[in-house]
Amino acid sequence: MGNVMVIPAKRQVGNNIKKAERPKLRVAAYCRVSTDSDEQATSYEAQIEHYTEYISKNPEWVMAGIFADDGITGTNTKKRDEFNRMIEKCHAGNIDMIITKSISRFARNTLDCLKYIRELKDLNIPVFFEKESINTMDSKGEVLLTIMASLAQQESQSLSQNVKLGIQYRYQQGKVQVNHNRFLGYTKDADGNLIIDPAQAEIVRRIYREYLQGLSMDRIAAGLEADGILTGAGKAKWHTSTINKILRNEKYIGDALLQKTYTTDFLTKKRIKNNGTIPQYYVEGDHEPIIPKDIFLLVQEELVRRRMVHTSDNGKRRCYSCKHCFAQIVFCGECGEFYRRVHWNNRGCKSIVWRCCSRLEATGHACHSRTVNETLLEQVVIDAINRVLCQKDDFLQTLRANIATVVLQGDALLPEVIDERLNKLQKELLKKVNQKDNYDAIADEILRLRDQRRQAEVDSVIKDEQMKQIRDLQDFVKSQPATITEFDEALVSRLIEKITVFEDHFTVDFKSGITIDIEA
């Protein structure tokens, strides 16, 4: 073993560093209030005032900033901008110590809390919690911190559960809560009740009207943007998803479906669609409607129709398109496919024609159906309408017979009859719940009847629409003094259901149930 030489320490009297030369500790404070209420806003201001005075009173400290998040939840740090900015300054070497009121102010999520404490410890930056008197650099600091942070998380979970119970109770009472600031068409009165905003309501009506007129959601959105109309959130950009939500929202008919989504994790605040996992509550007549129920149901039917995929005789699947009045109403008599609009350049001669999709794609057994010039299709429509006008008496008699047929359709599923049964079952359900009896069978029957009621409403609207279409042609025939000479797209959308192209003729089906063959 070699010799060991001891080098003695230099003799020191006191601290070599003069007090004036010793660097002051750069101390930052973090404070947070979790809601936007007036009471909590006062707490927020008080915390800032407190830490400003607290840090300035210590001669060995210098203010490194007060970082305050106002109205932000503590269960995660993703949306806490000031908190995240403070951590960045710590990494940049601009902060030596952090002071905060308590663990619950710093974080209610144990994992987040420990993550940042350890991250700061690696940077040699202590965090001091006033209420618990914990300094994270103490030997017992992390043990106490883990215990206290776990308690804070339990407190947050308990609070979340209490909030859920409160919301559940309000739902059961039929109390509707809507963020009217982002809800196009409505505002709130002094008592917090939903009331119609006339200017915004007209935008909602326009969206429903244009959709039923055949416009796509893209075209509706483009039209709103072109007119400088803002969304419910005050944005200039309209997305098709926004139009879709407006068209599906039952609140526009004065009703409200409560608990459409629910929170799966009180820490992440993640919400998912409620597909029957927890109860839902449907409140009817909660507020004044903007859209009549029959119009709303027609829109729901149209939404379903446009999602449906047409399958032709050759197995091809086609989706809905609505850029022209003939789109999706012209069919091939040979293979059943849609006809598609094509800009044709035949040896320098430009024209617009309609051709069978199967023939255009020319795959497998190609269809041999004929190509039809758009002007010919327009003339076929004019001829079909004029045929009806020239034989008014015969066709009016047919229309009266069609009305009688619709009237005779069964009314076995009247919504009123189902409502009466539902009210009785609701009382039975509440009775069994209170007596803690098994109510699964009643619940299943209520769900079945609700579906049946919804279908009955749809059937009733479809029946009314059939009557309207028949009477619409009746009124047109009676009011039209002479035959028409010019093609009108609006008349096609109003009167024509389908046009089938054959080799030597066209079959035109009117929405009123009348069918006419035109040779061409």
- Give the model confidence (pLDDT) of 205-250 as tens digits: 999 988 887 788 888 999 999 999 998 888 899 998 999 989 988 8
Token pair for residue 495?
A: 């009167």
CA atoms within 13 A on the CB side of 295: 18
Listed residue (402, 378, 382) closest to 474, CA to CA:
402
pTM, two decimal places: 0.43
Walk me through the domains of the chain, giving residue ranges and CATH numbers.
25-157 (3.40.50.1390), 180-303 (3.90.1750.20), 371-519 (no CATH)
Residues of the chain with pLDDT under 70: 1-22, 33-44, 71-79, 107-111, 139-181, 257-285, 308-323, 362-365, 407-414, 430, 432-437, 439, 458, 461
What is the Cα–Cα distance from 288 to 154, expressed in whole angstroms?
A: 42
Q: Which pLDDT belongs to residue 383? A: 93
Q: Is 404 exposed, middle or buried, given 0-12, 13-18 or 19+ CB atoms closer than 10 A?
A: exposed
User: Measured at the alpha carbon of residue 496, what is the angle toward residues 224 and 208, in degrees to the nearest 5?
Assistant: 25
Q: pLDDT averaged over the chain?
A: 75
Beta bridge partners of 271: 263
Task: Judge contact between 467 and 474, C-beta under 8 A.
Answer: no
Q: Which pLDDT belongs to residue 94? A: 92
Phi, psi (deg, nearest 5) at residue 89: -65, -30
What is the Cα–Cα distance from 458 to 142, expressed in whole angstroms?
A: 63
Listed residue (387, 397, 421, 402) closest to 513, CA to CA:
402
User: Measured at the alpha carbon of residue 323, what is the angle toward residues 317 and 328, in degrees to the nearest 5?
Assistant: 40
Distance from chain centroid for Cα 290: 19
Characterize 229-268 residue by residue with b for buried, 16 or more Cβ atoms within 10 angstroms of its Cβ, and e for exposed. bebbeeeeebeeebbeebbebbbbbbbbebeeebeeebbe
Residues 6+ apart with CB under 8 A from 90: 98, 120, 123, 125
Three-state DSSP state, 36: coil
Task: Tell me the Ramachandran region of residue 23: left when phi exceeds 0, alpha when psi lies from -120 to 50, beta otherwise.
Answer: beta
Residues 6+ apart with CB under 8 A from 251: 178, 183, 186, 194, 286, 287
Biggest CA–CA distance in the chain, Å, is 130
Task: Judge contact between 102 and 129, C-beta under 8 A.
Answer: yes
User: Measured at the alpha carbon of residue 34, what is the angle toward residues 28 and 39, in degrees to the nearest 5?
Assistant: 100
What is the Cα–Cα distance from 132 to 145, expressed in whole angstroms?
A: 9
